[in-house]
Structures are given as structure tokens and as C-alpha cells.
Structure 1
Amino acid sequence: MRVLVKGAGVAGLTAAFEFATRGAAVTVAETRPGLDGNASWFAGGMLAPWCERESAEQPVLDLGRDAAGWWDAVLPGQVTRAGTLVVAAPRDAGELDRFASRTSGHRRVDEDEIAILEPDLAGRFRRGLLFPDEAHLDPRQAMAALHDKLAAMGVEFHFGTDARHVSGFDRQIDCTGMAAVDDRLRGIRGEMLILRTLDVSLSRPVRLLHPRFPLYVVPRTYHNFMVGATMIESQSTGRVTARSMMELLSAACALHPAFAEAEIVEAGVGVRPAFPDNLPRIEALGNTVAINGLYRHGFLLAPAMARQAAELVFGHDKPAEFAHESDGQRRSA
């Protein structure tokens, strides 16, 4: 089977892997000149299904709980399994209780244990929640490593290519996100910063709860920290706004005041595709299967969605709520 994957974001790369491992001859076509610049490039890389359940539906937890294992198996050494720490200022203790009531897979930690988990946060927070089974990765490193692995497996990549002009394939897997022709999709703009400081060290993603502007800080290599992210109903890909910049920096300094002296390495914007219910979809029309609507859960949900898409094409059953056939027809390999 010859398969064309349209899009080289995280959905496209994971789909290419799932089809290639099933014996398909896979080609990936991407309109951008390289891997950078798409929504996946600006992702946080948190594999945190239990934390995400605070604002997401149960399927996000169900689909995402095995994501860390998938990434770890496919790209050994890319995943850090240190959990997630959630904290709140004493005045926002109610936010911590609300977060705990809407999630599972956590245990409460006190000021002393927070100091053991993250010494640089010692004395700053009295209570927190530790989600020990969660993990994180660096999206850019993971995408580059997956690209290289796919190329070694024989997957062909064509960057700067309009897939509409490519033919001769048995199946097309549409992973084009906001570029897809689908009027149900809406854009969720996420703004992020990368800060560099030698004065803060974190071992895991830390989420700071705030009733107006919650924040997460994800440690990266070379003393860098990814700080994000806004959630604005907009398809604008313009630069980070002054308001968002101030809010992100203010929240980062609330987590640790040393961030006030950090270098701003990068400020970026990614527009995440979402359906009205914020849940992903796999839909088939003729010889095309579309994976879309991963919302803010790209690296968390992409492995499961890619696997389901491959199972759809190769004729296996999967949850009906995520795999839909247009015109009532399922097309098997």
C-alpha cells in the first residue's frame, strides 16, 4: 500500500510511523520548508493526561494515558518521567482544591515535600499536587528524532510541497490541522515564551494555578524553560501580544522571582485546531482519512489517533466516537 501523509506536524509524523510499521510505503508532504513553524513546534510537550482532565473530557485521559509509553518506545531517551507538580499561592488555595476535585492520579504534597521535589521552590508554596505518572518531552527534539527515524525506515519526505498536486497513492492521510478545508474547525491561539536563566532549576513541569491566568513552566535543556500558554479563540498567527507577554512573565515571576532576570530567548505563537467539543476526530471519505482537532493535546493524543487511523485503514475496529466515515462508507485496505 502506498500512503501519502499530508502534514509534518506531530499528527503527520506519528501517522507516518504507524503506517510504516504496518508495511505501507509512506511519503510525507509538507508545505513548509521544514519541521519548524507549525503548531507542534510551539507545543509544551507535556504528556499529562491526568492534569488535562481538569478541563478536558474523559476521552482525553483514556487516549492519552499511554502516550508516554509510545514516545518512550519509539524514541528512547526523549521522555522524562518525573511527573507534574501543581502549586498555587496560599491566597489561591481554593484553586488547588478545585483542580484536585476535577482530576485523579495525584497525591497531595506539603511544603516540605515540595522542597524535596523542587529545591528551588522551597518555602514558596505550602501545598501542591504531584501527578507522579505524567511525563514530558521537548517537542522540537522529538519531532527531529522521529523525522530521522522515519527517514531511516524508508519514509520519503517532501518539504515545500503542495500535496494537492501529488497523486498515485492508495491512501491519503490528511494531518494538515488548520489548513484543512473544514468549517467546523476553530483556531485556539497559544502564545509561549522560552526563557533562559541559570538561577532556576526544575526537574519536571510545574503548573501554577491562578483564577485568571494559569501557567505552566516546562524545563528544557541548556537552562531553558518553556512558559505558556494562552488560550485565545483566534486564528491569528501574528506575534505575541504585549498583554500576553506581560501576563506570561508576571505569572513566571510569581512561580519564582528569578525569572524576572531571565533572558527572553523566543516568543512564539501556535494556532491549535479544535472542533466544537474540543475532542479529536478521525474521519474517512473515499481514500482519504483525516486526523484533526487535537486542540492543545497534540503530543498527548497523536500516538493514539495515529494508531486508530492505521487500524481504520487496515480494517480493524475502533471507538466509533473518534472514527467516522463520510457518506456511510468505510474503505478498507
Structure 2
Amino acid sequence: MRILVKGAGVAGLTVAWQLYRHGFDVTIAECNAAAGLGASGYAGGMLAPWCERESAEEPVLTLGRRAADWWEAALPGHVQRQGTLVVAGGRDAGELDRFAGRTSGWQWLDEAGIAALEPDLAGRFRRALFFRDEAHLDPRQALAALTAGLEEARMRVLFAGAEETGEYDRIVDCTGAAQIGRLPGLRGVRGEMLALETGEITLSRPVRLLHPRHPIYIVPRGKGRFMVGATMIESDDAGPVTARSLMELLNAAYALHPAFGEARLTETGAGIRPAFPDNLPRVTEAGHTLHVNGLYRHGFLLAPAMAGEVARRLLAEQPERKAS
């Protein structure tokens, strides 16, 4: 079967990779000049199903718990299996108990345990939750590596300006927010992030700082670089980061460690996360096209499961191969 995958964000590239592994003839068409220029490029890249269960339904944990294995198999060496550390400031210490009550797969750490995992946070927090089995990756590096792998496998990857021709047995639409107003119930949720650079602090894993109004996460990117995210605003406006969000993210980073107050602000960005009313992704069918959409804030976590669902559907349609 010849398959056209529309969109080279995390959904489109994981679908293309999964179909390639099953022997499909895949073409990827992307309206931008490179992969990951939409919301996927602003993602945290956290493969954290146990933490996400705090505010998400059970399927996020069920579908996401093997995501790290999928990414490691697809891109050996790109996945960092260092777990997730969850902390809260003194006045917000009760948030840790609430978080623990809504999740599983954690262990309590005292001050000594925190210092053993993250020496630069020594003495800053009295308690923490450690989710040992979680992982993270760098989204932009991962998307670039998937694209390169597909091109090396002689799959056609067409970017802006490249003409897409030919007939296809199926189309898989993974264009995300472009389908808002077209797919029933799909809405936009704006996520904002910033990037900081400093040589004064080292973190080995994502750290979530709990707060009743604006919890954040900080993800190390190596070489003194950190991604700080992310706001969640019910809006499909993809404009620049707002002053309010910038202040909230910077204040929270400073609360985690004062060294971030002297860090260089190297990037800000906003992306629109497409979401259905239940905030769970879906594979839906409309004639010749399968739509993969609604990954919300769980793109890298749930895209492998959605890619597997697409592959199962298309394999069921494959004509049986004649015995040689």
C-alpha cells in the first residue's frame, strides 16, 4: 500500500516511521520548510506517563508507559532514562501530597535523597517525589533524527515548495492545529515556553515545581541549556509569548534555583496544542483519510501509541500476500 502522511510533527513522523517498519511505501508531506516547526518543536519531550496521570485520564498512563521503549528502539541513544523529580516550595508543600494521591510509581525523597540525585538543589527543598521509571528526550533532535532515518530509508519527505504527486491507497492526516474548525470538537490550547542558558546550575533530569496556579517544569538540554514550560491557555492564538507568561515562567525558574535569575534568555516560543473535549488523542476516519489528532500536551508520550493504532488499521486492509 502507498501511504501519504500529511504533517512532519511528532504525530506524522512517528506514524511514518511505524508504517515504514511494517513495509509500507510512505511519503511525508509537510507545509513548513523543516520538521517540527509547529507545536512539536516547543515540546518538553518528557516521557512521563505517571506524572501526567495527575491531571489526565487513565489512558494517558496505559498508552504512554511504553513510549520510552518505542523512542529508544527508533532512535538509540536519544532517550535519557533519569526519571522525574517533583518538588514544591515551603508554602506549597501540601501540593506534593495532593500530587502523590493522584499518581503512582513514585518514591518519597528527603533532603539527603534530593541532594544525592540533584546536588545543585541540595538544601532547597525538604521533600520530593521521584518517578524513577520516567524519561525524556530533546524533541528537535528526535524529530531531525527521525526525518534523517526516513530519508536514508528512501522514504520521500517533501517540505514546503516540493510538489506532491501520485496516487495513494490511504492518506494519514497528522496536521494538528490546522484541523481546528474541521474536525468536530477539536480546539486549540496554547502552550508557551522559554529557553535559558547558564553554567551555574546542572540538572540531570526534568524537575517539576508544583504551584496551585502555575506549576512548571524545567528540562535539561545539556551544555547548560534548559527548557522551561509550559503555560496552558485555552486559545488558538499562536502569537508571541505574553508578558504575563514570561514573568510567571521566569519567577518559577528563579524559585527552583536563584542561579536562573542570572541565566541568559535564549528563546521564547508558543505553540497550539490540538485537543478534543476529553484531552485524549484519537484516530478517526473520513473517507480515504485517517486523522491522527488531539495529542494535547502528550505529543511525544502518546504519538507512538497512535502510530501503532494507524499501523494496525492499515495492516488489516493489506491484501494477503501470495505465497511464493
TM-score, normalization: structure 2? 0.96
Contact 2:9 2:37 in 1 (8 A): no
> What's the offset of the Cα at 1:182?
1.4
- Structure 1 letter corresponding to 2:189: I
Matches within 5 A, 1:115-264: 115-160=115-160, 166-180=165-179, 181-264=182-265
Q: For residues 175-225 of structure 1, give each alpha carbon's deviation from its aligned partner in whole angstroms, at most 9, with x where no partner exists.
A: 000112214111010000000000010000000001111010000022100
- Structure 1 letter corresponding to 2:312: E
> What's the offset of the Cα at 1:93?
1.3
CA distance in 2, matches of 1:100, 1:268: 31
Contact 1:312 1:332 in 2 (8 A): no
Per the alignment, do residues 282 and 162 of structure 1 end up closer, same or farther by CA in structure 2, a change over 3 Å counting?
A: farther
RMSD: 1.3
Task: Give the structure 2 partner of residue 40 of structure 1.
Answer: 40
- Structure 2 letter corresponding to 1:171: R
Give identity over the alignment, percent.
62
> What's the offset of the Cα at 1:36?
4.0
SS at match of 1:189: strand
Contact 2:36 2:143 in 1 (8 A): no
- Structure 2 letter corresponding to 1:80: Q
CA distance in 2, matches of 1:143, 1:66: 19
Contact 1:4 1:171 in 2 (8 A): yes
CA distance in 2, matches of 1:111, 1:123: 6
Structure 1 residue ranges (4+ consecutive) displaced by more than 2 angstroms after TM superposition: none
Task: Give the structure 2 partner of residue 15 of structure 1.
Answer: 15
CA distance in 2, matches of 1:79, 1:240: 28
SS at match of 1:192: strand
CA distance in 2, matches of 1:248, 1:166: 45
Per the alignment, do residues 301 and 162 of structure 1 end up closer, same or farther by CA in structure 2, a change over 3 Å counting?
A: farther
> What's the offset of the Cα at 1:167?
4.5
SS at match of 1:236: coil
TM-score, normalization: structure 1? 0.93
Per the alignment, do residues 332 and 178 of structure 1 end up closer, same or farther by CA in structure 2, a change over 3 Å counting?
A: farther
Task: Give the structure 2 partner of residue 84 of structure 1.
Answer: 84
Which consecutive unaligned segments of at least 5 residues does structure 2 have?
320-324
CA distance in 1, matches of 2:108, 2:136: 20
- Structure 2 letter corresponding to 1:88: A
Contact 1:3 1:171 in 2 (8 A): yes
> What's the offset of the Cα at 1:17?
0.7
How many residue pairs are counted as aligned between the two chains?
Answer: 317
Contact 1:42 1:192 in 2 (8 A): yes
Contact 2:8 2:36 in 1 (8 A): no
Contact 1:30 1:161 in 2 (8 A): no
- Structure 2 letter corresponding to 1:274: A
> What's the offset of the Cα at 1:90?
1.8
Are 1:67 and 2:67 matched, yes or no? yes
Task: Give the structure 2 partner of residue 281 of structure 1.
Answer: 282
CA distance in 1, matches of 2:56, 2:152: 36
SS at match of 1:80: coil
> What's the offset of the Cα at 1:287?
2.3
- Structure 1 letter corresponding to 2:90: P
> What's the offset of the Cα at 1:171?
0.7
CA distance in 1, matches of 2:70, 2:286: 28
SS at match of 1:232: coil
CA distance in 2, matches of 1:243, 1:212: 13
Q: For residues 103-146 of structure 1, give each alpha carbon's deviation from its aligned partner in whole angstroms, at most 9, with x where no partner exists.
A: 00001101110001000000000000000000000000000011
> What's the offset of the Cα at 1:286?
2.4
Task: Give the structure 1 partner of residue 322 of structure 2.
Answer: none
CA distance in 2, matches of 1:243, 1:283: 37
Q: For residues 274-314 of structure 1, give each alpha carbon's deviation from its aligned partner in whole angstroms, at most 9, with x where no partner exists.
A: 00110110012222111100000000000110011110111
Contact 2:197 2:264 in 1 (8 A): yes
Task: Give the structure 2 partner of residue 294 of structure 1.
Answer: 295
CA distance in 1, matches of 2:95, 2:235: 27
Per the alignment, do residues 302 and 161 of structure 1 end up closer, same or farther by CA in structure 2, a change over 3 Å counting?
A: farther
Are 1:3 and 2:3 matched, yes or no? yes
